[in-house]
Chains A and B, each alone.
With several copies, the nearest count.
Chain A
Amino acid sequence: MSGNGDVVLIKDGKRLDGRDFDELRDIKMEVSVLERAAGSAYVEWGKNKVMVGVYGPRELHPKFLQDPTKAMLRCVYNLAPFSVDDRKKPGPDRRSVEISKVTSEALSSVVMLERFPNTVVDVFIEILQADAGTRCAGLTAASLALADAGIPMKDLIASCSAGKIQGQVVVDLMKEEDNFGECDLPMAIIPKKGEVVLLQMDGKLSRDEFKDAYKLAYDGCMKIYDLQRKTLMDSMKKFVGEGGIENGD
């Protein structure tokens, strides 16, 4: 968040890529894209390309990590070296470790982990091309991949960010907006419950601006939720027809 005032991000009431303030980028979702993984999903979100593979529930090693009351949900968020302009050295950096942690906590809020004691559910998120908003795209895809794997969940997790550019609160920042804007606020919700499971923010927002940004991000999440359900309907008629996504309340 540099808040660099010299870079024009809004022109004639439109954003650089022609979007309205409350308009998401183009989004494409697909499930069952991998052979080996128990469940998988692919999400294209603007220029972001994200693939997720899920394994488990499977035995957790070493044994002393096992929890007899529930499964562990373990998440690895990884940026491919070629996914960004300046090659990223392979291996986890501090940013990836933090995103893996908050993503894992968000997913844990809906997965019925208590059904699979002593096991682990592994969620592997690969960012193949990155253009701002990768954690939201990754979480959205991870949620689809868990459903694709048939792992019981109370609901899907839907994720979207809001932010502020040139004093204007907008939804779903792309790269230039993220680089030169004044704030980024990624969010994820449990749509049925209407509650927030991921919320991070950095930049500058007044209390009122925060309320506006919150609403934009929330509404964005709900649009994502619709796309997620449609994707699961379309591609997995059989799974959804059997009532696949469990109702947790």
Chain B
Amino acid sequence: MEIEGYLKKDYITNLVKQDKREDARKFDEHRKILVDNDYVKDKAPGSCFVQLGKTKVLAGISIAVGEPFSDRPNDGVMSTSTELRPMASPRFESGPPNDESIEIARVIDRGIREAGAIDTKKLLIEDNLVWIVFIDIHVLDHDGNLIDAGGIAAMSALLNTRLPKYEDGKIIYGEYSGKLPINCVPIPCTTAKIGKNLLVDPSLNEEYAMDARLTVATTDIINAMQKGGTGSFNEEEIMACVDAAFEQGNKIRKMLSTD
């Protein structure tokens, strides 16, 4: 942790002891969420720019055709990547994905995949040929809680993704044959533990101060969880995180819509 992190950690820890957050939020609230769908609509069949407070991420969907996995010959394929672009933080470097970006991508992926959010059974084109859905999450400005920001952006982009036209063995770019079939809308909710307090949607400064975090992705049930950080949670705290996730998930889900 750089010097800045140490200083912010002290500042936040003291604030939280007084039941306060730096932006005057309640402990169980997300920052303001701005959703801008179809941000790169001239090239990507689906995309969404999300601002979660000052955190900015852009999720773009690419669609290709290819072979299914041999153990699921009738199902389309999804793949999720996260790039922590170096413009987003002085700490991020150019280069291949590191453990941080891999964890973010995999947690977001699990929420979407395990909920069955994409109806992959409808993505069979013909024998041994299926649609492949790439979710690329581009982190542009890092002010904390990249999992929630990225997960919301990815899900909103998917909700608005069109399937390209496919003729004579080729994708016709810019023309579409329908919408990507979506079954449900899983939303991740991350709670940070600072001292004995639980804070939903930690900002970057709060991340410097947190002992541990717990992400819970929910639809009407739980679909994915991921604990992070070197601290620990007791059972009561974990259930509080789960309950917050259901509540916040419902609120955020209502903000997302198809065009």
Contacts and interface: CB of A to CB of B under 8 A. Distances in A.
Check A-B contact in the complex, CB < 8 A: yes
Interface of A: 1, 34-37, 40, 47, 49, 51-53, 55, 58, 76, 78, 80-87, 90-92, 94-95, 97-98, 100-102, 105, 108-109, 122, 124, 126, 128-131, 185, 189-190, 193-207, 210-211, 214, 218
A136 to B, nearest CB: 14
B140 to A, nearest CB: 6
A94 B109 CA distance: 12
Given A85-B173, A90-B136, A128-B39, A102 B238 contact: no
A171 B97 CA distance: 34
Contact of B102 (A87, A98, A131): A98
A123 to B, nearest CB: 9
B54 interface: yes
Contacts of B90: 36, 55, 58
Contacts of B87: 34, 36-37, 40, 51-53, 55, 124, 126
Label chain A's interface by main secondary structure: mixed
B132 to A, nearest CB: 9
Given A202-B224, A206-B221, A101 B54 contact: no
B222 A82 contact: no
B226 to A, nearest CB: 6
B81 A201 contact: no
Nearest to B239: A211
Contacts of B28: none
Interface in B81-100: 81, 83, 85-90, 94, 96-97, 99-100
7 contacts: A36-B88, A37-B87, A82-B60, A101-B99, A126-B87, A202-B113, A207-B243
B60 A109 contact: no
Nearest to B89: A36
A100 B86 CA distance: 14
Residue with the greatest number of chain B CB neighbours at <10 A, chosen from A35, A92, A189, A203? A35
Contacts of B86: 53, 55, 76, 122, 124
A167 to B, nearest CB: 13
Label chain B's interface by main secondary structure: mixed
Interface stretch (B8-16, B42-50, B121-129, B249-257): B42-50
Contacts, number: 187
B31 interface: no
B73 interface: no
A130 B40 CA distance: 9
Interface residues of B, number: 64
Contacts of A82: 40, 43-44, 47, 60-62, 134, 136, 138
B85 A91 contact: no
Given A85-B173, A126-B138, A129-B44, 14 more contacts: A34-B141, A35-B143, A49-B40, A82-B44, A82-B61, A85-B43, A85-B174, A94-B97, A122-B86, A124-B85, A130-B43, A198-B227, A200-B225, A204-B222
B222 A128 contact: no
Given A36-B89, A49-B40, A109-B232, A203 B102 contact: no
B42 to A, nearest CB: 4
A160 B140 CA distance: 25
A200 B56 contact: no
Contact of B228 (A102, A130, A189): A102
Contacts of B54: 35
B242 interface: yes
B222 A206 contact: yes
